[in-house]
Chains A and B, each alone.
Chain A
Amino acid sequence: MANGLKKFYMNDKIVVPVFAVITSLFIAAIVMIMIGKNPIVAYGALLFGAFGTKGALINNLMKATPLILTGLSVGLGFRAGLFNIGANGQLIIGALLSTYIGTKMIAYPFYLSIPIMLITGMVGGALWAAIAGWLKVARGAHEVITTIMLNYVAVFIANYVVNGPFQAPGGVPKSPEIAYSARFPNLITSGATWLSAGIFVALTAVVVVYILIEKTKMGYEVKAVGFNPYAAEYGGISIGRNTVMAMAISGALAGLAGTMQVMGLYYRYLGALGGSMGFDGITIALIGQNDPIGIAFAAFLISSIRAGSNQMQIAGVSKNIVIIIQGIIIFLVATNRLVKTFMFWKRKEVEEA
């Protein structure tokens, strides 16, 4: 029993991200002390802003909903050996297409329009990501470059349509609203905040991705290609098909994240809808170590930090510190050898004891 517990704590998959998160919060605290702020007060405000009231918790869960999905998107890509830095573009295309369909759903009942919306968002994201997958397989173009470029193209397409052909009256760059039947019902409402049923979609996605990766032949093949493409091909697994497939599923998850914002929060396409969620997905996948359940917890951690940062800003610490914290976390996970070197003395001490 004690041995099992020790094994659990010594597991790299847990030690590295926990160490990274704690260290980053510690470094941020030092920065706060340097500028003459009390980190205990700031972190207290952050906790209050994330969990302190019913509204805060609702807001937190609303923020977690798309982050779970972009985290899954990036994490699934990593499992397949792909760095999908383009979740943002896929999210935009998914949101844009589902918004367009959503405005046409007035005559449909909710049990038709909601699934149609979800499928549209996923297809949009999947197709956008599949471009990068195809360019990698057929032309050898690295997915990091192509997905970054596709992000910008998506932003420009969105700006073009919401400033012209798909603009709501009034001259503001936003689309018309989607039909009521295409909106998620609210589970809880508190003042100006509400929790939409989208959280169930995100949690379902966690389970589906878990089953896909761990229990299906397709998941096995995708992982095999990610782990060692040449060995996989030798074993009769197609690198090309699995790469495009993994990229498309990753894109579908990002597209779904955008659709959550449309169906549950804004009810239309807005320029700022994507925010930094694609990049946050990278942080989340790394903290969650590409494990679907780990990603769900990591998404909640990041949404809590993000949701609480407004309150922290009121307490006098600029919320940009949250971006610094995320940067340090990613950096430490990238240099996990450094973390392991550091943890190594600890490990020896434990063994000696």
Chain B
Amino acid sequence: MNAWIQAIINVFINPIFYKSTLNQSTPLILAALGGVYSETTGVVNIALEGIMLIGAFGGVVGSYFTGNPWYGLALGVLLGVAMAALHAWASIRYAGDQIISGAALILLAQGITGFSLVELFGKPGSTDLVRSIPLVNLGSFENVPFFGKIFNSLSPLVYIAFASVAFSWFLIYKTRLGLRMRSVGNNPEAADTLGVNVYNVRYFGVLMSGVFASLGGAFLSIGELGQFTENMSNGRGFIALAAMIIGNWSPTGAMWASILFGAASAFNDQLQSQGILHLATNTQYLFGMIPYIITLIVVGGLVGKSRAPSSDGIPYIKD
């Protein structure tokens, strides 16, 4: 028991844990924000997982062919938005089943990235190493005890993620467009009567989900290492979806839930490396399932309450 307390203290006093939490939260925050945009306007988007994957792939391909990781980021976002546009088209224009369309796009993203990977790089599994987005160097801040180690050499996308949360909060709660988004998600008939173009606002929400989810995906590939591996989103899109729900469909709530998941994952990694515990390697799986169980408990309403926009997932068909 003492060994456990000591190990847990060791994890928490180590700046690496906090840095790792920031890094692991970033893709979740971005993708969860994407979910918030889409679902606030009333379109369920389980395709986040696929959009992240295609964003990650686009990031590497763009960086590989231009040598500039920022162009890679742009290509990743472009592909992510294209994929979101397909979802928007199916679920808004054709009032298709949003979950089925989302499932289709997840498969399409897996297929397209797996297929193009072989075509472009000549081998399955992973791409060549490409140039990644340079980390932000804070200069002499590095020497500040503890905090220097946490905040020095983070990816600019980490800052972008947190700035996006503030931006999105402002947009959704403090602007006319945000009011329209919320009204379209809660009561599209009423919004329509008041002259809001329900379709256009929903298109905006879904396309923005493409922007943010693909940024989150690109962080995975060109945020640090500069490589794409097959299925590298690895369920993070679904975790982001869960973070959005736990965060009650609000940008800040989604951020906190993403940080919680990021911290759980960082904690698990760090605990494994605590020699005094002599943990068997398979205990990582026991700890690994914790975020998913938390999600089940929260969506089950066993702790706290979480409420979706009233018309979330229901196509709007104008008479």
Within 8 A of B (CB), among A318-353: 318, 320-331, 333-338
Instruction: Report the separation of the CA atoms of residues A35 and B112 in the bound assembly, to the nearest whole angstrom.
Output: 13
Give every chain A residue within 8 A of B302 (Cβ-Cβ).
139
Q: Is the CB of A279 within 8 A of B103?
A: yes
Residues of A within 8 A of B280 (CB): 164
From B103, B110, B115, B282, A330 is in contact (CB under 8 Å) with B103
Q: Does A4 contact B (CB under 8 A)?
A: no
Given known pairs A145-B245, A327-B108, A335-B101, the reply for A139 and B301 (CB within 8 Å) is yes
The answer to the question of A266 belonging to the interface, with a C-beta cut-off of 8 Å to chain B, is no
A119 within 8 A of B: no
Q: CA–CA, A323 to B111, complex, Å?
A: 5
- Given contacts A330-B101, A333-B100, list 20 more A-B pairs with CB under 8 A: A85-B99, A141-B296, A141-B299, A141-B300, A146-B300, A148-B241, A149-B292, A152-B292, A153-B289, A157-B285, A318-B115, A320-B117, A321-B111, A323-B115, A324-B112, A330-B107, A331-B90, A334-B104, A335-B89, A336-B96
* A108 within 8 Å of B (CB atoms): no
The answer to whether A337 touches B94 (Cβ under 8 A) is yes
Interface residues of B, Cβ cutoff 8 Å to A: 46, 86, 89-90, 94-97, 99-101, 103-112, 114-115, 117-119, 124, 235, 238, 241-242, 245, 280-283, 285-286, 288-289, 292-293, 295-296, 299-302
Output the least CB separation between B167 and chain A (Å).
Answer: 26
C-alpha spacing A336/B91, complex, angstroms = 11
Contact of B288 among A31, A140, A156 (CB under 8 A): A156
With contact pairs A323-B111, A331-B90 given, residues A35 and B105 touching in the complex (Cβ less than 8 Å): no
Q: Give the one of A146, A283, A323 with max B CB within 10 A.
A: A323
Q: What are 8 A-B residue pairs whose CB atoms fall within 8 Å in the complex? A: A139-B302, A141-B301, A153-B292, A160-B285, A320-B115, A327-B106, A334-B90, A338-B96
A334 touches B97 (CB 8 A): yes
B111:A139 contact, CB within 8 angstroms:
no
B229 nearest CB across to chain A (Å): 14
Q: Which single residue of chain B is at the shortest CB-CB distance from A144? A: B99
| Closest CB in chain A relative to B307 CB, distance in Å | 10
Contact call A149/B282, Cβ cutoff below 8 A = no
Q: How far is the CA of A163 from the CA of B241 in the complex (A)?
A: 29
Residues of B with C-beta under 8 A to A153: 289, 292-293, 296
A positions within 8 Å CB-CB of B: 31, 35, 83, 85, 131, 135, 139-142, 144-146, 148-150, 152-153, 156-157, 159-160, 163-164, 279, 282-283, 286, 318, 320-331, 333-338
The reply to whether A163 and B281 form a contact with Cβ atoms under 8 Å apart is: yes
Set of chain A residues within 8 Å of B299, measured between Cβ atoms: 135, 139, 141-142, 145-146, 149
Prevailing SS type, chain A contact patch: helix
Q: Which of B111, B242, B281, B286 contacts A327 (CB 8 A)?
A: B111
Closest CB of chain B to A35's CB: distance in Å?
Answer: 6
**In the complex, what residues of B have CB within 8 A of residue A159's CB?**
282, 285
Say how far A214's CB is from chain B's closest CB, in angstroms.
23
Given the known inter-chain contacts A144-B99, A149-B292, A152-B235, please indicate yes or no for A139 contacting B300, CB distance below 8 A: yes
A331 pairs with B104, CB closer than 8 A: yes
Please, how many angstroms separate the alpha-carbon atoms of A333 and B90 in the complex? 10
Closest residue of chain A to B298 (Cβ to Cβ) is: A141
Contacts of B89 in A (CB 8 A): 335
Of A31, A144, A333, the residue contacting B46 (CB under 8 A) is A144
A296 to chain B, nearest CB (A): 21
Using Cβ atoms and an 8 Å threshold, which residues of chain B touch A321? 111, 115
What residues of chain A lie closer than 8 Å to B115, measured between beta carbons?
Answer: 31, 318, 320-321, 323-324
A2 to B231 Cα, complex, angstroms: 50
Would A330 and B111 be within 8 Å (CB), given that A140-B301, A141-B299, A148-B238 are in contact? no
Check A327/B292 contact, CB under 8 A, given A159-B282, A318-B119, A321-B111: no
Determine if B108 and A135 form an interchain contact, defined as CB atoms under 8 angstroms apart. no
Chain B minimum-CB-distance residue to A332: B104
Do residues B282 and A163 form an inter-chain contact, with CB atoms below 8 A? yes
B29 to chain A, nearest CB (A): 19
Q: How far is the CA of A149 from the CA of B118 in the complex (A)?
A: 31
Query: Is the Cβ of B241 less than 8 Å from the Cβ of A145?
Result: yes
Determine the distance from Cα of A268 to Cα of B299 in the docked complex, in whole angstroms. 34
Please tell me if the beta carbons of A335 and B282 are within 8 angstroms of each other in the complex.
Answer: no
Given contacts A152-B289, A157-B289, A328-B104, contact A318 B281 (CB under 8 A): no
B69 to chain A, nearest CB (A): 25
The 6 A-B residue pairs whose C-beta atoms are closest, nearest first, are A323-B111, A327-B108, A324-B111, A320-B114, A327-B107, A330-B104
**Chain B, residue nearest A173 (CB):** B282
Return B45 CB to nearest CB of chain A, in Å: 12
Residues in A with CB closer than 8 Å to B292 are: 149-150, 152-153, 156
Q: In the complex, which of the residues A131, A145, A333, A337 has the most CB atoms of chain B within 10 Å of its own CB atom? A: A145
Residues on the A chain within 8 Å of B245, using CB: 145
Q: Can you name the residue of chain B whose Cβ is closest to the Cβ of A141?
A: B299
State whether A163 touches B105 (Cβ < 8 A): no
Q: In the complex, which residues of chain A have a beta carbon less than 8 angstroms from the beta carbon of B293?
A: 149, 153
A30 CA / B309 CA spacing, docked (Å): 41
Min C-beta distance of B182 to chain A, whole Å? 20
Name the one of A135, A142, A326 contacting B111, with C-beta atoms under 8 angstroms: A326
Q: Across the interface, do A323 and B90 meet the contact criterion of CB distance under 8 Å? A: no
Q: Given A318-B118, A320-B118, is A330 in contact with B95 using a C-beta cutoff of 8 Å?
A: no
Task: Please name all residues of chain B whose beta carbon is closer than 8 Å to the beta carbon of A333 when the two chains form the complex.
Answer: 100
B119 in contact with A35 (CB, 8 Å): yes
| Among A150, A326, A328, contact of B296 (Cβ-Cβ < 8 Å) | A150
The answer to whether A330 and B119 touch across the interface, beta carbons within 8 angstroms, is no
